[in-house]
Structure 1
Amino acid sequence: MSFDAEPGRFRKTRWALAAVFVLGLAGLAFAASRREYPLVVPLLLVVLGAGAAVSALGPVLGTRQRLTVDDGGLMVEAGLWSTRLSWKQIAQVRIIDRPLPPGVRSTPVVRTRLARRRAGANGWVVVWLAPDVEPPAARMHLPSWHARLGGVRICDLATLDTTDERVAEALRTFGGELYDPGRGPR
């Protein structure tokens, strides 16, 4: 069972960079047609910069995260990168409530802001690895070791187009005894 990121999450940023590129091209053509050569060089730099940003950041900004839960284990993908943990490598898996940042007290205002992030999907999928299993390499958007949790955060469900309950059902179905319905750290 796969859970994808919300469609269009970074589409606005890519379109904004493309708009700067197109407007820069139009300005460059206009300045050149009027023979205003002092404006040509700065506009050319804007066009080249926006074009470079679109080509360099396009794949990164367009990266859609995907969580796959199946008979083989958990896999999280983002663009060209993927990390897979088999069920044999996992000692326990939970969906925990998103922890507060260090030094932040839980107040009604803080709880309200956290709840507004996405109704129905405010948890993290966290696994605790079996003995002698190394944590996966840290990459952007992919699993990362959290010392405070003592486990590996697989993904933030607020970034996916799903709910905690749907992911919990998949973990219960495929993970069996490894899935723990507890919502707090181990």
Structure 2
Amino acid sequence: MEVKEIIAQHEEKMDKTIEALKRELSSIRTGRASTSLLDRITVDYYGTPTPVKQVANVSVPEPRMITIAPWEPKMLGEIEKAILKSDLGLNPNNDGKIIRLEIPQLTEERRKELSKKVSKIAEDSKVVIRNIRRDANETIKKMEKKKEVTEDDSKEGQENIQKLTDKKIKAIDEIKAKKEKEVMAV
């Protein structure tokens, strides 16, 4: 295996980490309604935990409201219970056919709380990226010890891993800043 292959493998892991970060941040509530708020909510559908989006039509008819229209009327209660049990802090309004979720204006305190949560999630992602860097460097150093690569290739590979790490951490910081701005916007 070459140093380039190792770098490519670890870059792929870093990209997956950033995608996971984006998915996790999309489920954090801002002042606007978004169907991604319901991504982590599952309901019991014939004994199988199923995402709400797979048992209902989810839409955003206005900036502060999400509507959920289940394909089967008996799912209304299940969806309502799942939303109440979730950490979203939203109260579903059920009219017998659809569920309406009003997204209340966030308080300043709640915004700051969410901003801290965003920072923590971003920091956790940075730690994962740094661990991937460490693993890549260790692999390259082992290859150098076994004389599979030259000392120069090893040094160059470690420098490239560092550059890649810096680039990915910068991307995480940009994603974090964008989400914090979104959360803090009134």
TM-score, scaled relative to structure 1? 0.28
**Larger helix proportion of the pair:** 2
**Larger strand proportion of the pair:** 1
